[in-house]
Amino acid sequence: MTMELSMSLKQFRRLLDLVYIGNWVLNSARGDDRITEFDEVESLLFAKCRDVGMEKLTEPLDGCAIPSRAFAEGGIHEAVMEYEDTIFFEILAEELARRDVIAEGGAEDDAEQINERIGAYIAEFERNGTDNIVLNL
């Protein structure tokens, strides 16, 4: 069974961004254990770029269409990196907050205390990034 989808060129361009970001999240850290089904969908969509005048967004690799260097360097990676930074600091803040609450004898499910600490850590990270983090190894 096949499917036909109708969209504007602008919508198609946004779909390329979404597929690229999704595949990046799912496969970028997997090394040789990539989920090839997602690579195949990405390749299918990027192959369509040639049909709609967006040739600069794709390039061939081993018989497949992949996002071109121009596509990857066109701002989409900045969006991915911004997301990764945000998630990094949010996860770090929550882990540190839970550690602190438990270390001080609090309950690990004390949402009020944990959220208060998370807010303090997030504020610190917004001001100083990781500059004030010290590890005692």
pLDDT of 86-132, one tens digit each?
A: 999 999 999 999 999 999 999 888 999 999 999 999 999 999 999 99
pLDDT of residue 7: 95
What count of residues does the chain have?
137
| Interatomic CA distance for residues 26 and 22, integer angstroms | 6
SS3 65: strand
Query: Which are the contacts of 47, defined by CB distance < 8 A and separation ≥ 6?
Result: 58, 64, 65
**pTM, entire model:** 0.77
